[in-house]
């Protein structure tokens, strides 16, 4: 499950307490509100179980609760990958060591119950940051099956005897698991194991975790988890598109494909606008403004990604209208630019590599398809200089993310291989058409079924192969990066402000 055997382990005893507190607090304040796998008190108890012991000597992992070690090790690994402002290779190597430390306690954590499912989801969350460590398709399949086995997709009646906290925890675990399943299934255009029609469980509370108790929810508390609901709503739109266009699922009753596509375009745009409206309400809230800025960037990227998926060639529409293909290409460039901004932005943003790299590679192929099969439309919209600038947005992203994940360099190489002849062909088309009006060119270029270039189809189909062989481009060979730093704050420019664990 976890790929090739790994030898180097970074124990929790090697992490200074002030660094551990900083990384832990980063996870609690920045990541749990977006992906509330745990109730805050659960991870706080685990952290105290490791670092809150009496100072009678150094921490010895073997003497600690196995589940606590697993949870805390992966939380610190996730936060380290997120919080490092510089030396990302080195930070990743240390995070990998923490992950390996967690794997040593996997049998104690990955149990067949709700806490075990939470541990599995935490593992999946780390795998999105380092896809080389495990098969994401397999892991999300296991988590979905566990949700079904526990009945988490169904809202239990009051007679079930659940208290308020238990019910909320069941809801959040399900929606986190389902979001992860959709994310992976959509990336590979594979069917969902848990169809939306089978789900009747409500979203969990948006209020701060400390306002949620066994007895009640304090509705006067801050809504610290409002962004998570927006993410789940986005996944519902994405699940619908994958079902209809890529799995030949049924259309809503009485709706044509064209009407459904128009509605999907409108729905994702309204979702994005709602996110921006909600963010305006928090712009003066120091505790929430940065979280909502992150969500606004997420919404900009996600809405463009939906347009790429909606208007690109797909099993249901193998030869899309050339105007729609050009629209997909325009969105594809914005996907690449958005992910580049996300990767280069300030500390604290959760910088996954699996989705960005896969989405940008897929978007790059759509851009190339438009240059080849929608030449007149693209030429009418953009100059050769603008097309060249757009074409560069994809390798710019791959170069940026390669430090976090070396396998991204392969995507850049494959894209460059495909770009050369297609860009030259497009440039020749523009030069030939300079004496003609674009209206005439559009007329000449609008008829006939599109035939997707074999090279592009093959490249898209080889992505899973690239994914499963990522370990060959991983970080294990970078021995100097693994050594434990003397001053973590100085090494990774954390900018730590010490705060007590509450």
The three state secondary structure string of 403-460 is CCCCCHHHHHHHHHHHHHHHHHHHHHHHHHHCCCCHHHHHHHCCCCCCCCCHHHHHHH
> Which of 134, 164, 188 is the last residue in one of the domains?
134
Average pLDDT over residues 249-270: 95
Question: Is 290 a member of any domain?
Answer: no
Sorting pLDDT into bands at 50, 70 and 90, what band is 484? Answer: low
> Which of 134, 159, 187 is the last residue in one of the domains?
134
pLDDT of 311 higher than 60? yes
Reduce the DSSP state of residue 501 to 3 states and report it: coil
Q: Shortest CA distance to 491 belongs to which of 86, 76, 12, 27?
A: 86
Look at the chain and report how many structural domains it folds into.
2
User: Which residues contact residue 134 at a Cβ distance below 8 angstroms, ignoring those fewer than 6 apart?
Assistant: 1, 2, 3, 123, 127
For the record, the structure tokens of 191 come out as 């069917």
CB atoms within 10 A of CB 149: 10
* More confident site: 309 or 91: 309
Q: 151's torsion region: left (phi>0), alpha (psi -120 to 50) or beta?
A: left
Average pLDDT for the chain: 84
Question: Is 17 a member of any domain?
Answer: yes
List the single range of 66-70, 101-105, 348-352 with lowest mean pLDDT.
348-352
**CA–CA separation, 133 and 339 (whole Å):** 22
The torsion angles phi and psi of 146, rounded to 5 degrees, stand at -65, -40
> Which of 87, 112, 134 is the last residue in one of the domains?
134
Question: Is 104 a member of any domain?
Answer: yes
- Looking at residue 498, its pLDDT comes to 43
Matching residue, tokens 């996907």: 335
CB-count burial class (<10 Å; 0-12, 13-18, 19+) for 497:
exposed
For the record, the structure tokens of 52 come out as 């809150």
- Looking at residue 5, its pLDDT comes to 40
Matching residue, tokens 């809801």: 171
Helix, strand, coil % (nearest 5) of the chain? 65, 0, 35
Question: Is 284 a member of any domain?
Answer: no
* DSSP string for residues in 172-189: HHHHHHHHHHHHHHHHHT
Sorting pLDDT into bands at 50, 70 and 90, what band is 469? Answer: very low
Question: Is 375 a member of any domain?
Answer: yes
Sorting pLDDT into bands at 50, 70 and 90, what band is 354? Answer: confident
The torsion angles phi and psi of 460, rounded to 5 degrees, stand at -65, -40
Average pLDDT over residues 13-36: 91
Average pLDDT over residues 200-220: 95
Question: Is 97 a member of any domain?
Answer: yes
**CA–CA separation, 363 and 359 (whole Å):** 6
Question: Is 111 a member of any domain?
Answer: yes
**CA–CA separation, 345 and 297 (whole Å):** 10
Question: Is 315 a member of any domain?
Answer: no
**Domain extent at residue 85:** 1-134
């Amino acid at each position: 499950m976890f790929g090739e055997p790994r030898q180097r382990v970074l124990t929790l005893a090697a992490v200074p307490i002030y660094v551990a507190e900083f990384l832990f607090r980063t996870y609690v304040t920045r990541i749990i509100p977006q992906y509330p796998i745990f109730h805050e008190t659960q991870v706080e108890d685990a952290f105290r179980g490791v670092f809150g012991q009496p100072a009678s000597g150094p921490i010895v992992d073997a003497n600690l609760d196995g589940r606590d070690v697993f949870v805390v090790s992966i939380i610190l690994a996730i936060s380290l990958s997120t919080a490092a402002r510089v030396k990302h290779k080195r930070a990743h190597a240390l995070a990998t060591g923490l992950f390996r430390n967690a794997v040593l306690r996997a049998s104690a954590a990955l149990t067949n119950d709700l806490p075990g499912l939470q541990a599995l989801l935490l593992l999946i969350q780390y795998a999105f940051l380092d896809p080389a460590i495990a098969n994401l398709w397999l892991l999300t399949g296991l988590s979905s099956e566990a949700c079904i086995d526990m009945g988490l997709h169904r809202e239990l009646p009051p007679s079930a005897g659940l208290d308020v906290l238990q019910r909320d925890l069941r809801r959040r675990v399900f929606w986190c698991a389902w979001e992860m399943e959709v994310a992976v299934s959509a990336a590979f255009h594979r069917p969902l194991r848990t169809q939306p029609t089978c789900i009747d469980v409500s979203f969990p509370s948006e209020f701060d975790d400390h306002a949620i108790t066994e007895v009640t929810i304090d509705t006067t508390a801050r809504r610290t988890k409002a962004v998570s609901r927006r993410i789940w709503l986005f996944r519902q739109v994405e699940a619908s598109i994958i079902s209809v266009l890529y799995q030949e699922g049924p259309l809503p009753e009485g709706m044509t494909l064209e009407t459904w596509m128009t509605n999907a375009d409108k729905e994702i745009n309204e979702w994005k606008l709602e996110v921006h409206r909600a963010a305006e309400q928090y712009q003066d809230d120091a505790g929430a403004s940065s979280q909502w800025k992150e969500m606004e960037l997420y919404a900009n990227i996600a809405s463009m990604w939906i347009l790429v998926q909606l208007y690109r060639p797909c099993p249901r529409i193998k030869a899309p209208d050339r105007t729609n293909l050009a629209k997909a290409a325009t969105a594809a460039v914005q996907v690449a630019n958005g992910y580049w901004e996300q990767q280069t932005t300030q500390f604290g943003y959760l910088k996954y590599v699996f989705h960005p790299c896969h989405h940008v590679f897929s978007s790059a192929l759509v851009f190339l398809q438009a240059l080849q099969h929608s030449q007149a439309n693209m030429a009418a919209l953009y100059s050769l200089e603008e097309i060249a600038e757009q074409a560069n947005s994809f390798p710019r992203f791959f170069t940026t993310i390669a430090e976090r994940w070396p396998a991204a360099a392969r995507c850049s190489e494959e894209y460059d291989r495909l770009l050369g002849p297609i860009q030259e062909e497009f440039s020749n088309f523009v030069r030939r058409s300079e004496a003609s009006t674009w209206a005439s060119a559009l007329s000449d270029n609008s008829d006939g079924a599109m035939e997707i270039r074999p090279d592009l189809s093959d490249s898209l189909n080889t992505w899973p192969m690239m994914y499963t062989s990522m370990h060959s481009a991983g970080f294990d060979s970078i021995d100097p990066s693994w050594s434990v730093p003397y001053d973590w704050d100085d090494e990774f420019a954390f900018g730590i402000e010490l705060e007590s664990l509450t």
